[in-house]
Structure 1
Amino acid sequence: MFPSLNWATPSRSTSPSPVPRDELQDSEQDAAAKRPPGLPLAQFPDRFRPSRSYSVLTTIDINGRIADRSPLQALAWPPGLSISISLMVPLIVIAPDAASREHVTSQGHIRLSAAIRHVLQITSGHRLYMTAAIDTDRLTIGPPSVIDEFVSRLQQEATQA
């Protein structure tokens, strides 16, 4: 049914003979010295350098709790930290404020009040864009449409240039 295969077997051992450790290290160093340098690394303009911010797309629950805690962790904001929440429609700006009554929850979440959710028409399940600005110790929250508008403007500028 199947053609017979004749597998050739080596007549002698194919395993290499052991090399003394000193000779092995010398040959590795010689090989590294003879190797051409690697590919050059790309140089990016300043606008493409890594930023000092951390951004996520997250959701909000029925009680105003924002699901993703990682921006707060990037800012090193501990549970219980007093914060001020400022509304700059359509954005929410949050910063540490020892005099404020608002705070990070004991589980490390931000909770938006019903008044803020009502003004911005945010309901359970809505997606929110969060950016933690590491250098200024600020957290900005807004709808993804803000990012869409920004990208759209950049695309228009690029096509006009």
Structure 2
Amino acid sequence: MGRIDASGRVSDRVVTQARGWKLGDRLTLSGTSGVVLARRDPAGMLAFGQKPYITIPAVLRTRCGLQAGDRVLLAAALDEDLLTVYPLSTLHQAICENRPAEGGASR
């Protein structure tokens, strides 16, 4: 879990270390409403710095509905060089859509 600061930075040392990202690695960020994707890309727009954070550009934060102070879940797939940033609103929606109905059957 992380919180987006006023500059669009969000960090989680465990997740970025799990990706194996190193100082100077180039990253490409993309996203849609409810999710931001970051992946290592030699032609990427951002460089991974000494501090374990990803900076989500303002245009992308707007597109994805993210604001300073929002809490997000950072998730890394073990089989891909990908970091996914989920706003809590997206997680809430997914949980509600998959919540078991009364009687134990899922919706």
Place the TM-score, normalised by the shorter chain, in its bin.
Answer: 0.7 to 0.9
| Number of residues of Structure 1 aligned to a counterpart in Structure 2 | 105
Deviations 1:47-73 (A, max 9, x none): xxxxxxxxxx21011111113222111
Q: What SS does the corresponding residue of 1:100 show, helix, strand or coil?
A: coil
Aligned counterpart, 1:110: 54
Of Structure 1 and Structure 2, the greater helix share is in 1
Q: What SS does the corresponding residue of 2:50 show, helix, strand or coil?
A: coil
Q: Tell me the percent identity.
A: 25
Whole-Å separation in 2 of the counterparts to 1:84 and 1:105: 14
Gap regions ≥5 residues in structure 1: 1-56
Work out which of the two has the higher radius of gyration on C-alpha atoms and give 1 or 2. 1
What is the root-mean-square deviation of aligned Cα atoms in Å?
Answer: 1.9
Which has the bigger relative contact order, CA under 8 A and spacing at least 6?
2
Conserved? CA contact 1:95–1:137, under 8 Å: yes
Per the normalisation by structure 2, the TM-score is 0.84
Q: Which runs of 4+ in 1 moved over 6 A?
A: none
Gap regions ≥5 residues in structure 2: none
Whole-Å separation in 1 of the counterparts to 2:41 and 2:29: 9
Which stretch shows the higher mean deviation, 93-102 or 113-122?
A: 113-122
Q: 1:75-94 residue pairs with structure 2 within 5 A? A: 75-94=19-38
Whole-Å separation in 2 of the counterparts to 1:58 and 1:144: 10
Of Structure 1 and Structure 2, the greater strand share is in 2
